[in-house]
Amino acid sequence: MKQDMWKAYARGMAAAMNGGSVVVPAGLLRAYRGVGLSDADMMLMLQLMLFRQAEGVDFPTPEQLAERLGIAPKTAHGQLGRLIKEGLLAIDEEADPVSGIVIERYNWTGFLIRGAEWLADEARRSVGAEREPQAGRSPTAAQDAAEWTKPADLYTAFEQEFGRPLSPMECETISAWVDQDRYPDELIRFALKEAVFAGKLHFRYIDRILIEWSRNRVTNTDEAKAHTQKFRNGRGF
């Protein structure tokens, strides 16, 4: 009878665990080794996320982490210190406005940024590899060689205007403009300049510009310049 009770308790716990969740960006699980984290480091990060999201604990102690991870507190303390030194983890301090007590919390924004940069590099490498000449195929003209380098040049142009690395989704958007929508390289660049001019530097706005030009059969920058003149008086896209 007692054994059945514990089995029922275990089934209830299993159901509860299946229903709960910790939000972990999928990209981090792909990128963590690329940014220099070991499996043990990643598990520590996951425990920090678990403490905050599921238990409301923003600043678990090395002892609490060590118990979860099955390691010595000294080891957990060393891992935390190394991750902080590498800029993947930080400690934020905030004073309670009522009590004046300083509240500390772990901040893993550095890890998120480093992971996003690694994923962006991976996306660029992947697109670049797809555009390399296949075995037995060589460019027959300078124009063919230029076609292979266009996407990488576009990524660079966008990163220079945005002042940051592009996200994987943004890289995929540019790739779709080139491969699926067949927008000319010069039009994409000019749409980027229009977005900068309008002070609306985001991909949704650039996409709207390109769609508008496509609907109006705009095929080059001269036509685009003529078409956009009528929107310069505040009408916008």
Question: Looking at 95-99, 107-111, 194-198, 221-225, which range is the least confident one?
Answer: 95-99
* Domains within the chain, CATH numbers bracketed: 25-130 (1.10.10.10), 143-231 (1.10.10.630)
Which pLDDT score is estimated for 44?
A: 96
Kindly state the tokens that stand for 81: 């210190």
* More confident site: 4 or 147: 4
Which pLDDT score is estimated for 123?
A: 80
* More confident site: 210 or 18: 210
Has residue 205 got a pLDDT over 80?
yes
Which of the four pLDDT bands, split at 50, 70 and 90, describes residue 223? Answer: confident
Has residue 18 got a pLDDT over 80?
no
* More confident site: 205 or 3: 205
The radius of gyration computed from the CA coordinates of the chain, to the nearest angstrom, equals: 25
Mean pLDDT of 182-188: 90
pLDDT per position as a tens digit, 129-169? 555 554 444 444 444 434 433 444 788 888 888 888 878 78
Which pLDDT score is estimated for 231?
A: 60
Has residue 128 got a pLDDT over 70?
no
Instruction: Return mean pLDDT, the chain.
Output: 80
Mean pLDDT of 22-29: 82
Mean pLDDT of 228-234: 62
- 41-45, 123-127, 140-144, 195-199 — most confident range: 41-45
- Rounded to two decimals, the pTM is 0.49
Which pLDDT score is estimated for 62?
A: 95
Q: What is the DSSP letter of 34?
A: T
Which pLDDT score is estimated for 179?
A: 85
Q: Give how far the C-alpha of residue 103 lies from the chain's centroid of Cα atoms, to the nearest Å.
A: 29
Distance (Å) of CA 20 to CA 26, 53, 66: 17, 10, 23
Rounded distance between C-alpha atoms, residue 201 and residue 194, angstroms: 9
Mean pLDDT of 112-122: 86
Which pLDDT score is estimated for 143?
A: 44
Rounded distance between C-alpha atoms, residue 56 and residue 45, angstroms: 15
129-167 as b/e: b if 16+ CB within 10 A: eebeeeeeeeeeeeeeeeeeebbeebbebbbeebeebbb
155 HSE (CA, 13 A, CB side): 24
Mean pLDDT of 33-52: 93
Which pLDDT score is estimated for 232?
A: 58
